[in-house]
Amino acid sequence: MKTLMTRADIERTLRRMAHEIIERNPDLDNIVLLGIKNKGVPIASALGANLKRFSDHDIPVHELDILAYRDDIRQAERPNNEGWSVSDKTVILVDDVLYTGRSARAAMDAASDHGRPRGIQLAILVDRGHRELPIRPDYVGLNVPTSKQERVVVDKALESVTITLI
């Protein structure tokens, strides 16, 4: 197991990503962060806190469950709209690791069930390559070329990012 990022590295990276979001989106009142359940949620929360700190805007952060939208899992029921909308908002989907792009595609479908967003952006802590779909992140914490036999793991408490051979 090799450590790619420590807690301090992750915190510094999330501060940089927050600044990039501020620079790219002049109208922060119309931004919503959607953390992809499970590991994208703490990253989205940390980004939201950094955005508040650097811009004095309270950016809504919601958890987005994509399980019913995955193309490799058949689930009959899609969750009900949880009472929030992305209509006419710029949605920033947030996840820990971008690999094939299938989770990001499912997240776009899930977000669209909450209204018609003005636009969708993608923020990823670690991009490891090997895309199967034409998905490209807008904000990347760390690009790590990996083999398909390696696994990138982001600790749920954002303590570390490691890479292991499987």
Q: Residue 83 class from Cβ within 10 Å (0-12 exposed, 13-18 middle, 19+ buried)?
A: exposed
Per-residue pLDDT of the chain (166 residues; tens, 9 = 90+): 899 999 999 999 999 999 999 999 999 999 999 999 989 999 999 999 999 999 999 999 999 999 988 887 766 566 666 789 999 999 999 999 999 999 999 999 999 999 999 999 999 999 999 999 999 999 999 999 999 999 999 998 999 999 887 6
pTM of the predicted model as reported, rounded to 2 decimal places = 0.94
Q: Which domains, ranges and CATH numbers included, belong to the chain?
A: 2-165 (3.40.50.2020)
Contact 99, 137 (CB under 8 A): no
Task: Beginning with the edge strand found earlier in the chain, give each strand of the sheet holding 61-64 in spatial order.
Answer: 61-64, 31-36, 90-98, 119-127, 139-143
Q: Cα separation of 14 and 31, whole Å?
A: 17
